[in-house]
Amino acid sequence: MIRLTFDKTGTGHDDLFLRIGTEPAYLKTADSYYLFDFLEISDEEIKSKNLKGQQLLSFGLIRLLDYWTSRITSIEPGQCTFLPFDLSDEYIGGLLIEARTTDFKLKPVWTDQIHGYAVGQSNLDAQIKNNDLLFKHEVETEWIIDQQTLLGDLELSKKDLSEHLHPH
């Protein structure tokens, strides 16, 4: 199981939550402060959507999940990709995903060679390559998740988030 959500009363700090697995369970909090910068969503686009508060954060997280999905579905067995989540002034953190024959191996990782304020989705891979990054493992635990479950879990997170976009 993997879920991405947010604190409905959050302030931009420690307001994002990433949960993986049940045993062992992993819960990571992060700031949403650089989320829209990373996603390269302009102020004009935000204004045109006329979203506020929870709706805006839901919109950003859905876009992040779409980005993750595109990265996951573009790698072949034996390849790895990085899914950013924790965009901080001092580091970035997220999940290192390795595609295997029928499933994926996930490991929480981080690096202080790239910073949240200086990275965007269009230059992430170039920054990883140009800095010859070696990610540090946040925990020694890893999870094996089949593709259908992983992509289904991301879709469930998107569905939950979309309820904030269009409240009943």
pLDDT string in tens for the chain (168-residue length): 899 999 877 677 778 999 998 777 899 999 999 999 999 999 999 999 898 888 999 999 999 999 999 999 999 999 999 999 999 999 999 999 999 999 999 999 999 999 999 999 999 999 999 988 889 999 888 999 999 999 999 999 999 999 987 765
Q: Indicate the SS3 state at residue 57.
A: helix
Supply the range of the domain harboring residue 135: 2-165
pLDDT at site 132: 87
Q: What is the dihedral of CA 138, 141, 147, 149, to 10 degrees?
A: -100
pLDDT at site 139: 87
pLDDT at site 167: 64
- Domains contained in the chain, number: 1
Predicted structure pTM score: 0.94
Q: For residues 18 and 30, is the Cβ–Cβ distance under 8 A?
A: yes
- What is the CATH number for 13? 3.30.2450
CA distances from 54 to 28, 57, 103, 131, 156 (A): 19, 5, 33, 35, 17
Instruction: Provide the token pair at 100.
Output: 């295997």
